[in-house]
Amino acid sequence: MPLDSLPAEYIGTLSARTNDVARPVVAGPLGTKVVATVTGATFVGPKINATATEGVAAGDWLTILADGSFSLDVRFSLKTDDGADIYVTYTGFGTRNEDGTASIRTAPRFETGDNRYDWLNAQFCVAMGTTTPDGVEYDIYAV
């Protein structure tokens, strides 16, 4: 019997800042390619409090389609307030809203070797988010 909804556990809210986009490759055969640097991030939830790792490359690789929708490929590192390093990747899809923001759906993946956060390694996550004046914000859930 199909489920009416998926059981989900709230993991946390991820907020990321990005810089202004420089030198997009416009109207390529697969869409416009844009690379934005992730300049900062926070990830706060019931069991985690982390910020982007300074000095480590972090980026958001976007492909913008002719209709304004876009796909994304994001990679960055976090450091928790108690010193654990966590690598984050996610892909997803976004659509533009009439107010200029975007609705975004992603599937974040977390990797860490720190036993205190080993629970993140085994999670399959989905996130629902939006663009903000500085970047993006997502609520992340384990399903």
DSSP states along 76-120: EEEEETTS-EEEEEEEEEEEE-TTS-EEEEE--EEE---GGGHHH
- How far is Cα of residue 95 from the mean position of the Cα atoms in its chain? 15
User: Could you tell me if residue 2 is inside a domain?
Assistant: no
Domain range for 47 is: 9-142
Domain assignment present for residue 43? The answer is yes
pLDDT, tens only, 69-110: 999 999 999 999 999 999 999 999 999 999 999 999 999 999
Instruction: Give the CATH number of the domain where residue 69 resides.
Output: 2.40.160.20
For the entire predicted model, the pTM comes to 0.91
In a domain, residue 20? The reply is: yes
